[in-house]
Amino acid sequence: MKRSQLEVLKEKIERLDAQEHAQIFAIVKRYTENYTKTQSGALVSSDMLPEECIKEMEQMISFFLDQRKQMEADAIERKSLKNELKRN
Per-residue pLDDT tens over the stretch 28-83: 999 999 999 999 888 998 888 999 999 999 999 999 999 999 999 999 999 888 88
Q: Are 27 and 72 in contact (CB under 8 A)?
A: no
Confidence (pLDDT) at 83: 85
pLDDT tops 80 at residue 21: yes
Q: What is the DSSP letter of 46?
A: G
Mean pLDDT, the chain, rounded, equals: 91
Overall size of the chain counted in residues:
88
Could you count the other beta carbons within 10 Å of the beta carbon of residue 24?
20
Q: Are 32 and 49 in contact (CB under 8 A)?
A: yes
Question: How many CA atoms, within 13 angstroms, populate the side-chain half-sphere of residue 7?
Answer: 3
pLDDT tops 80 at residue 88: no
At 41, is the secondary structure helix, strand, or coil?
strand
pLDDT tops 80 at residue 1: no
pLDDT tops 90 at residue 86: no
Q: What are phi and psi of 24, to 5 degrees?
A: -65, -40
